[in-house]
Structures are given as structure tokens and as C-alpha cells.
Chain A
Amino acid sequence: MNLKQCLEALPIQADWVAIREIREEITSRTARNGRFDQNAVSVDHGYMVEVLIDGQFAYACTNTHTEKAIKEAAKKAESLAKAMASYRLYPFTSSVRPMAKGSYTSPFKISPAQVPVSECVDALVQTTKALKVSDKIVNAAAHALIIDRDSYMVSSNGSDISQKSLMTEVTLTATAQDGSETQTRTNGAPFRQMGMEMFAKDDLLKTAERVGREALDLLTAENCPTGAFDLVLAPDQMYLQIHESIGHPLELDRILGDERNYAGWSFVKPSDFGRLQYGSPLLNVTFDPFVEGEAACYAFDDVGNKAGLEYLIKDGLLVRGLGSLESQERLSMSGTSNARVSSWNRPPIDRMANINLEPSTTSFEDMIAQIDDGIYMSTNRSWSIDDYRNKFQFGCEYARRIEKGRLTAVLKNPNYRGVSVPFWKSLKAVGDRNSYEIFGSPNCGKGEPNQVIRVGHAMPTCWFQGVDVFGGAK
């Protein structure tokens, strides 16, 4: 279908109109306990017509692939915009829909077409065998997720944007059991803009052996102690700490109250930008669409705003929010290029993309060497935070005690809790480039109606002081 021709033929009168086409093919393959388990392919493909009439945006979408269906969607959007205009929250203009032309293709080395299904299946099955390092491993699973996404947008003011991204995630899981004790260890499920090189068999087998062994270690480990400790967090826990207690609270639509009924509000107020000391001077956080391989790289957000690198927190000071052009207009403040949609069937809202904590100069070894009595935690397994993004609690899979500058005993069921700003102010040291890793999530949920978005987070290991730590249930 020629979307430009379709756009020109739409039988509506609007101040601005666009058609957004999104196609996503998602492949999910799982092996378990030496056998292939499940195989699913999903093709999601549809069109969203977005209109602006009298200050009100309205959206109507369809996954019927005909011009007739798109025209019907356009008529629907027109009628909704007209009906709602007198009840609108804010009188927008097309200034929040800039004209943009361009394209983006994410980098990869090996495309899915180059890897036969049987080869992928074999790699996963062999990996589950490698996870089973002992009879005490009662469940060993390997899961491959491949997301191939194409988006194309044209608009009445001349926008023409096509973007293509290939994202992959591999999750290795080993559950060990001995009597009534059960512990699960994973590889942290890295999620990247990356091709089938994510599933290189040799890498998987090597990681599997470590994951299986650490699951066994957890069976005989002591429960994480309770108390206030120096806490060192590995990148595969740091990413969720950043996500929940920096990313979400800085979303401007949340600060505007749009999310109050669902995901919640924020403790951050508009007057805090430029004033609030969010964390220690070591804290530098960016919105960065250009870190190669990170999950949310793009050239334009989903309304055509050109993507750019911005500091959100600089030397600990809060400087900028995560807000699209609509939120920037409503608050009269600057933001980022982050109006994003999960798919063709949801309207754009303020989302995270790549939110990164910049590395500093402390090596991991030096960090540990300076700690007399602390805990090192890795790999998130539990997360919870309040609806203002203040009181959080996280649990990890695996921890080590730090005693007199050395990593010692393995600890099980490590958890910690805190309050966002005091926690970030307790940031004592930030790791160097050697501990800097890229993680992300394919499933950040928000919005009404609900939608998930893909996000990336890159960060090093970090050290916090005086954190409330505790173990598993008695």
C-alpha cells in the first residue's frame, strides 16, 4: 500500500493528519531440560491514523490492510476529535508534530534469515544441557526472543520517516533444589539491538556453565543479613534501579498527572528542574539514543521529533525531564525526543528510551578494596516502588559478602529497600568503563490504555552507603 497516496486521499478535514504503519515480527523459542519446548511466531501489523482538529488529537486504528479500512479509521478519528474538542485538556497545534524526513536501521551482524530454525533450536537445547551441571538442577531453560520491527510514518506537513530495528534477548535459567531449599539463577537476560549473534552457541554454553554453578552455590549459601550496609550493585541490578527511581519519575506526562490513575505520579515537581539535588555529584544520567546496540536507539521519536542526546541529571543536579513535545508545550520546559508507541494500536505517550548512567573512574577491584563490611548484589529478581516513585524495594538473585576489602561468602535472597533521592545521594563511587554494561527490557509497562515499550540502560557497577539490606522470609 502506498501510504503517501493513501494520506492524500483521506476524506477528512483536519489541521494535521498522519498515518503510522507498524509491523513487528516476534519469534520466541524455548528449550527446557535437554528438549525443545515451545515455538511461537507473532506477526503484528496495522495502521494508526492520527488527526488534530481544533486543538484535540484523536486516534483511530485498524489492522485490516486496505485503503478502505484506513479511510474509515480516518473518519472515525475525525468524528472523535470534533466531539472531544470542547472537552480537551490542552489546545495543541501542529507545532508538536514537526516535519521530519529520514530513516534508521539498527546495526546487526547476523540476520534471523541467516540462521535456520534448526540451528537456533540446537543451540538452545545444548545450552539447557550445559545449565544442568548437577542432578540438583531440577529445571534448566533457555529462551530466545527476536523482535523485528518496522515503522513508517507520513504526515500532512510532509513527514516521511522509516525506522527498522532488530532486537534480541536470551534468557538462561537454572533452578536448583535440595530438600526444601530452592534457588534460581539466570544470566540477567540481556536485551539489545542486536542480531542472531546474541545466540552464538559457544558464548551460551560458557554462560550456562556459570549460571548452573552459581545456582548450586546459592543452595548452600547463608541468608543475606539484615542491617544497614555498604551496597555494591552490578549493572544487571543497576539497570532496574535507574529505570524505576530515575527514569519513571522524570517522565513529564507523569508529572503532569496523566498517569495518576494507573502507573502513578512523581515526587518530582516542575520547579525541581534546575534546583533539585537528585543524587551525589557522581551521578550523571543521560537520555542517549545513540549507544550502539542499546535497545532503544532511533533517529526520530514516533511523532517525528529528531532524537538527540540530553543530560537528565548532571553532577547530581536534576536538569531535564523525559518529556515529548506535547509535555514540553504543556509545561513550557525543555524535554527529550521520547513520544513513543508500543505498536500501531496505541497513541504516543512520554516513554523512556535509553537512559544511561555515565561511568566514572573507580575500578571494581578498587571499589571492593575500600569496603570494610558490605554486600555485593547482582541480577534483579524482584522490583516494587510506590506510585510517586519514592519508596522502592528490590530483590536480587545472588550476592557476595564484602569483608575487609574482599569478596567472601555467597549470600542468598538478597533484598534492599530505600527512598529514591536519599538513595541516590548515598552514591559513593561509580565504576569505570571496565564494568560498564548494556542491559534493557522489552516490557516496560505504562499508559491507559496499557502499552509496553522497549528500553535500554547502560551503566557501570556502583557503590552506595548505608542501605537497608535484608534476606529471605524466615
Chain B
Amino acid sequence: MQDLFQAFSKSLFQNLQGDEVLSLALTAEKSLFMRLNQAKVRQVTSVNQGVVTFTFIHNQRNVTYYIPFGSDQATNLEIGLKALDRCREEARQLPADPFCPEITCKANSEEHHKGSFPGDTDWMDALSPKLKGLDCAGLLTAGSVVRANMNSLGQSHWFDSDSFCADFSFYTPSQKAVKLVYADKTWSPEIFGQKLDFAKEQLKHLETPNKILEPGRYRTYFAPDATAGFLSMLSWNGVSAASYHQGQSAFKPLKDGEEILSPLFTLGEDFTQGTTPRFNSLGELAPKALPIVEKGTLKNLLISTRSAKEYTLDGNYAEEGEGLRSPRIEVGTLREADVLQRLGTGLYVSNVHYLNWSDLNKGRITGMTRYACFWVEGGKIMSPIKDMRFDETLYHFWGKGLLGLTDEAALIPSTDSYDHRSVGGSFAPGMLVEDFSYTL
């Protein structure tokens, strides 16, 4: 695939005319998706796909064009050259774009991350004995993903990674559930077994009647998965500079000095984790680490090259959508072993579900508790809870309501597979919050 993409790019660049500039980004994968219900195979799908994104610039006109990219080079070139002509035709009819990105050549990179895991037809042989007797639903994803970029000024980036992700949930007879996610490059039956044992322990706690809580404010511990859920909201009109300048930003009160966050809260983009390529779809290299919030103070929004031009800012090579790509919330001092004791009386929330802004410009989020969530009294798990709806602002749970963060963070892999498999994930600790608001 790498040779194919490089040869394809070279051919297209040779066909450019005058001062035309072209950047090509490749998103490709060979993936197995094995969908389970009741620990049996519901559907199994093999996907072999590639998409090349053109960023074509000529005379301050900018056209983005996506084409399929496969293993037959003759077909790729035929489609690619037609796409180039189409870009020219579109550009001829567009007005000048004063914020047109500039294609540059500043650095090259190449990363290969090899993995080792069962072959496509061997996964159920590996999993089935371990899942015997369990009600399991979920998705096993495995294969290789590619992200690459080349441009007509000579820039070249390549990132490929073999990985798998077992994203499962397990159910009691009364349909209460725990979540298990095991993602890595190398499959270890022992590690999977340990995670499964932990899930089975949690299932035992769930086999008691639910406590139904009245709406109100409760002290709550959010496990790393749940913290990552809140973190993901910041990629949707949160940390984006364009969102701020266009008047739709949850970080507006923070940036304008109307609200503050807790000195316990530090968030940044951290590409040293190695799970996500540093280059964006234009091939621009983001800083290895970028502070966003440092001890409660806003340091940076994510600024794409386009936003930098439009709003006269110093860009930090964010992706066009200015969402988080490799976020890390810094750990605190709360030991995992002390979580229940520090919680005392309140809720233990393992996961959250279906988050949405209920008041974007005030940073208020609504959502639901999900999976293994418990009522805790005196530091002891008493019972599972009936799911609850919450509605709370980030200026509370990452602000004055934040009591502490755990001293270890977990890598929560990104499991999104709309159109293509995502890469990377978030590093998030658990967080203890006072007076978190539950409404239904």
C-alpha cells in the first residue's frame, strides 16, 4: 500500500499545471469486524478500503475531493486524474478564498507499528472458550490501519498500525451489564483473562436489586471510561478556536474570564503516547505536546491553519475540525485503592451514555449513567443503581466540584468506526466530584 500510494501521488503531482498545488491524504484499512450477541457470531465482515483526500489549491481557490483508492493502480490513476480535472473545474467557478490553507513542506515522518494477534478465521477459536456460559454482546475489530500524506512540495508522512479491539459487554440474567474493552497491538490471552475476571466480579455486584435514587445532587466517582466520555464532548464546540470565534463554544466563559476551572484540572494534547499520528490531513505536524488547560487556566484552543488566518492567530496545526486527537488529562493524587473510601457515600459511575450539550454556551452537558454503576455507603458498594439522567456544567465537575483525580490514567481507545476505523484514544484518570446533579 505504501509503494502504491507513493507512486500514485508522484503521478498526480507530475500532472499538475502552472502553480497548482496538491496535498493527498490516505485513510486505509484491512479490517475484520466480528459482531457478537449471546457470545455467538451475529455478523462477520471483512473490509478492504482506501480513501484519498485531495486538497487542491490554485489561484487562491481551494477544493477538497475524496476518491476511492484500491489495490489496482491503473484504476487508481484513472480515477485520480479525473478527480484532478474535476478539482480544476470546481476551482474555476469558485471565488477566491482569503483563508485558503497553504501547503508546505516542513518535515517528513514514517512510523510502522506491527502487531500480533489471531488471524481473521481464528478469533472465535481464541475467544469462544473464554466466553463460554456468558451473555456477551459486542464487536471484535482487528487488522491494520493506515494514515498517510504526501504533497507536491515534497512532504511525505506515513503511519501504519496493526491492532485489535475487543469491545464487549456482559450481562446478568436481568440484563444489567459491565463493559470490557481490550485494545492493543499484541493479543495476550492472559490479559484478556484478567479483564474478564474483573468483569465477572462486577457482574456479581450487579446481581442485587437496583437502588432507585431521587433526582438531586450526589457525590460521584467517575471511572476513567466515564471521564473520557466527558472529555470527548470538548471536541464538539469545546476546544475549537473557530467555534469560539463563531459564537458557539462551551469554553467561551473560560476564555472570556467569566468562569474558572479547578487547579486540579490539567488537559493537553499529547502525541508522545504514540497511538495517533502527529500529522493532520494536510500533513502539518502538531506539537508533540500542547497544553490546553493548565491547573484550571486556559492556555490554548485548538487552531487550524485556516482559523489562524481567519482570526489572525498563531495556529497549532490542529485538524480542520479542531477536535482533540490525543488528549491527556493529568493524573492527581487519589489512589485507586482509596477511591471508595474517599467517595464515602455517593455514586460510582463506570460509564456514561449519549452525552449532548444542553446549554452549550454555559458548558452544560446532559447524559445518562450506563453499565456498572453503584450506590456506595461508608465506602462500601451497597447495590447497583437504576440508570439516571444528569445535567451538569463542566464548570462544576471540572471546576469547584472537582475533589480529586486518580493517580493513574487509563488509555481509553477510540472505538468509533463510522466510515473507517479511528485511531488513538484518550488518557483519562478517574475523577471524584461533589454535588453532581442528577435530574431524572
Contact = CB atoms under 8 A, between A and B. Distances in A.
Interface string A41-61: 111111000000000111111
A384 B90 contact: no
B111 interface: no
Contacts of B177: 260
B399 interface: no
Contacts of A89: 36-38, 40-42
A450 B86 CA distance: 30
Contacts of A206: none
A448 B141 CA distance: 10
A91 to B, nearest CB: 11
Interface residues of B, number: 92
A384 B357 CA distance: 9
Contacts of A62: 48-49, 70
Interface in B321-369: 353-359, 361-364, 366-368
A182 B64 contact: no
Interface in A364-388: 382-388
Nearest to A184: B248
A423 to B, nearest CB: 12
A118 interface: yes
B83 to A, nearest CB: 7
A98 B326 CA distance: 47
Contact of A59 (B38, B44, B389): B44
B115 to A, nearest CB: 19
B45 A61 contact: yes
A40 interface: yes
A42 B258 contact: no
Contacts of B89: 117
A46 B169 CA distance: 32
A217 to B, nearest CB: 16
Nearest to A120: B93
A251 to B, nearest CB: 14
A394 to B, nearest CB: 9
B156 interface: no
A60 B45 CA distance: 5
A63 B70 contact: yes
Given A69-B72, A258-B137, A448-B138, A60 B46 contact: yes
A63 B49 contact: yes
Contacts of A32: 246
Interface string B72-111: 1001000100010010011001110110000000000000
Given A80-B120, A449-B45, A43 B83 contact: yes
A46 B68 contact: yes
Contacts of A57: 43-44
Contacts of B93: 116-118, 121
A452 B391 contact: no
B134 interface: no
A39 B63 contact: yes
B213 interface: no
Contacts of A261: 137-139, 167-169, 179
A42 B48 contact: no
Contact of B439 (A79, A175, A417, A451): A417
A445 interface: yes
A63 B30 CA distance: 11
Contacts of B175: 265
Contacts of A5: none
A138 B245 CA distance: 8
B77 to A, nearest CB: 12
B97 A36 contact: yes
B272 interface: no
B128 interface: yes
B198 interface: no
Interface in B210-265: 245-248, 252-253, 256, 258
A418 to B, nearest CB: 8
Contacts of B70: 62-66, 69
A146 to B, nearest CB: 13
Interface string A122-139: 000100000000000011
B316 to A, nearest CB: 20
Interface string A449-464: 1111000000000000
B271 interface: no
A77 interface: yes
Given A41-B86, A59-B45, A80-B121, A413 B359 contact: yes
B280 interface: no
Contacts of A106: none
A57 B41 CA distance: 10
B94 A39 contact: yes
A347 interface: yes
A84 B41 contact: yes
Contacts of A473: 358-359, 362-364, 393
Contacts of B421: 449
B3 to A, nearest CB: 15
A449 B416 CA distance: 8
Interface in A151-186: 175-177, 180, 182, 184
A280 interface: no
Contacts of A138: 246-247
Given A184-B247, A384-B356, 17 more contacts: A59-B44, A61-B45, A65-B68, A84-B121, A89-B42, A139-B245, A182-B247, A260-B177, A261-B169, A345-B419, A382-B358, A384-B366, A385-B368, A391-B440, A415-B358, A448-B138, A452-B418
Interface of B: 31-38, 40-51, 62-72, 75, 79, 83, 86, 89-90, 93-95, 97-98, 120-122, 124, 128, 137-139, 141, 167-169, 171, 175, 177, 179, 245-248, 252-253, 256, 258, 353-359, 361-364, 366-368, 370, 387, 389, 391, 393, 416-419, 421, 439-440
11 contacts: A35-B98, A40-B63, A40-B66, A63-B69, A65-B68, A69-B71, A80-B44, A384-B389, A391-B389, A450-B417, A450-B418
Interface of A: 32, 35-46, 56-66, 68-69, 73, 76-77, 79-84, 87-90, 116-118, 121, 125, 138-139, 141, 175-177, 180, 182, 184, 256-262, 264-265, 343, 345-347, 349, 382-388, 391, 393, 395, 413, 415, 417, 419, 445, 448-452, 472-473
